[in-house]
């Protein structure tokens, strides 16, 4: 296993925020600490070459996990092992083998042209000239860096900055990438570009990736596996195709009839009158097979056209989040 995580926990200590003058003095003299458990005993493993989408509602513990995986934060308990290393303890050696991008922060030098940050990284990581040149050439083309390479980072648009940050994280050819919201705030075209790039790096170079996102299209378009975290716990870890099977049992069959029918009653199927000669049939694919439903309809009615709709990945994920929220309501 390339990445092994066992019973990982992260607690944050926060100063209890008491307002007012008296409380201010009290807080200074007798600070009261509160413990917030952000990650609550998660375990998973990732094999080489996998592309894993790490999703969950706001505050679920995604960024905290990514920070522990990348050696920025030390776990409160539990264990992370990546390529046999402990990200925090073996940090020096470790950082040369991974790349990290935080969509909400940049690692570019704010006042320097992007290209100068790249040159600095070349020195930091001791990247050989030849490797550096080849990689720069590739990233300039695939990420379209030329249009802004010589502008200071602070002048870059969000999309440009993100592309530069991704290049910066990959110049030293890491074989593992951790991305925390690499598509946040980007327009559709920019998102597509980054998705394409990520997919390509995974396919062509076999780079293992874990990335967080709130964009379900990211998941649908680039991931094979998703892990869902909620309140610091993994609530789902499965292949995207299996998630559809597990949670997305509801199907919709839309039918255009050649004439209008008042009532069509089929057991285990809910009929929706869409107006005109159009009706929809909502059913669960584990209760009635779509082929069976179509046969029943075409045998008894004059069917002109029909389409079957699978649930959107958004709908399925929403269901997982809602179930998670529900579980937590019932325990507290």
Ligand X SMILES: Nc1ncnc2c1ncn2[C@@H]1O[C@H](COP(=O)(O)OP(=O)(O)OP(=O)(O)O)[C@@H](O)[C@H]1O
Residue ranges binding ligand X (CB under 6 A): 12, 14, 36, 38, 56, 58-64
Our CB check for Mg ion shows the closer of 56 and 174 to be 56
From CA 252, how far away is CA 282, in angstroms rounded?
A: 5
Q: What span, in angstroms and rounded, lies between the C-alpha atoms of 182 and 74? A: 23
Name which of 62 and 193 has its Cβ closer to ligand X. Answer: 62
C-beta of 23 vs 36, nearer to ligand X: 36
> Do 256 and 305 touch, CB atoms closer than 8 A?
yes
Are 187 and 281 within 8 A, CB to CB? no
Which of Mg ion, ligand X, none binds 12 (CB below 5-8 Å, type-dependent)? Answer: ligand X
Q: Which is nearer to Mg ion, 202 or 212 (CB)?
A: 212
Tokens for 325, please give them. Answer: 């929220």
- CB 230 → ligand X: shortest distance, Å? 9
Per partner kind, with CB cut-offs from 5 to 8 A, the member of ligand X, Mg ion, none near residue 38 is ligand X
User: In DSSP terms, which residues pair with 37 in a beta bridge?
Assistant: 11
Q: What is the DSSP string of 234-269?
A: EEEEEEHHHHHHHH--EEEEEEEESS--S----TT-
Residue 36 touches which of Mg ion, ligand X, none (Cβ within 5-8 Å per kind): ligand X
Nearest to 238 by CA among 317, 326, 327: 317
Q: How far apart, in Å, do the first and last CA atoms of the chain sit? A: 36
Q: What is the largest CA-CA distance in the chain?
A: 82
In this structure, the number of other CB atoms found within 10 A of the CB of residue 39 comes to 27
* Residue 64 binding result from ligand X, Mg ion, none, given CB thresholds of 5 to 8 Å by partner type: ligand X
Q: Least distance from C-beta 54 to ligand X, angstroms?
A: 9
SS3 content of the chain, % helix, strand, coil (to 5): 40, 30, 35
Locate 22 and state its tokens.
């008296």
The footprint of Mg ion on residues 270-309 (CB under 5 A) is none
- Residue 212 CB, shortest distance to ligand X, in Å, is 7
Site for Mg ion in 87-126 (CB under 5 A): none
Is 183 a binding residue for Mg ion by CB under 5 A? The answer is: no
Say if CB 231 and CB 321 are below 8 A apart: no
* CB nearer to Mg ion: pick between 39 and 176: 39
Is residue 63 close enough to count as binding Mg ion by CB under 5 A?
Answer: yes
Q: Which does 59 bind (CB under 5 to 8 A by kind): Mg ion, ligand X, none?
A: ligand X
Q: Is the distance from CB of 258 to CB of 277 less than 8 angstroms?
A: yes
Element (H, E) at 252: strand 250-257
Shortest Å, Cβ 5 to ligand X = 15
Cβ at position 180, least distance to ligand X in Å? 7
- Regarding 202 and contact with Mg ion (CB under 5 A), the answer is no
Per partner kind, with CB cut-offs from 5 to 8 A, the member of ligand X, Mg ion, none near residue 202 is: none
Our finding on whether 70 is near Mg ion (CB under 5 A) is: no
Identify what 71 binds: ligand X, Mg ion, none; CB under 5 to 8 Å per kind: none
Token pair, residue 2, equals: 């390339």
Residue (56 or 174) nearer to ligand X, CB: 56
Q: Footprint of Mg ion on this chain (CB under 5 A)?
A: 62-63
């Amino acid at each position: 296993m390339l990445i092994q995580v066992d019973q990982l926990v992260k607690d944050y200590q926060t100063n209890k925020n008491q307002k007012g003058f008296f409380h201010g003095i009290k807080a200074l003299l007798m600070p009261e600490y509160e413990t917030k458990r952000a990650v609550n005993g998660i375990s998973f493993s990732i094999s080489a070459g996998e592309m894993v989408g790490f999703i969950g509602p706001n505050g679920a513990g995604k960024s905290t996990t990514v920070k522990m995986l990348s050696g920025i934060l030390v776990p409160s308990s539990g264990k992370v092992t990546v390529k046999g290393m402990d990200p925090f303890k073996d940090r020096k050696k470790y950082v040369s083998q991974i790349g990290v991008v935080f969509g909400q922060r940049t690692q570019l030098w704010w006042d320097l042209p992007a290209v100068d940050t790249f040159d600095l990284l070349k020195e930091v990581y001791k990247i050989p000239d030849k490797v550096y040149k080849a990689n720069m050439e590739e990233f300039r083309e695939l990420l379209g860096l030329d249009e802004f390479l010589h502008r200071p980072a602070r002048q870059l648009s969000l999309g440009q900055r993100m592309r530069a940050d991704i290049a910066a994280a990959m110049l030293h050819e890491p074989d593992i990438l951790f991305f925390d919201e690499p598509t946040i705030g980007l327009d559709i075209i920019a998102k597509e570009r980054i998705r394409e790039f990520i997919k390509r790096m995974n396919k062509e170079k076999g780079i293992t990736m874990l990335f967080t996102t709130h964009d379900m299209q990211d998941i649908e378009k680039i991931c094979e596996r998703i892990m869902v975290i909620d309140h610091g716990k993994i609530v789902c870890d499965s292949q995207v195709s299996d998630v559809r099977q597990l949670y997305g049992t509801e199907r919709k069959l839309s039918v255009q009839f050649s004439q209008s029918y008042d009532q069509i009653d089929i057991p285990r199927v809910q009929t929706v009158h869409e107006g005109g000669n159009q009706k929809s049939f909502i059913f669960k694919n584990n209760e009635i097979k779509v082929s069976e439903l179509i046969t029943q309809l075409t045998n008894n009615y004059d069917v002109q056209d029909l389409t079957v709709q699978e649930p959107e990945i958004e709908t399925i994920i929403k269901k997982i989040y809602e179930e998670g929220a529900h579980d937590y309501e019932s325990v507290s």
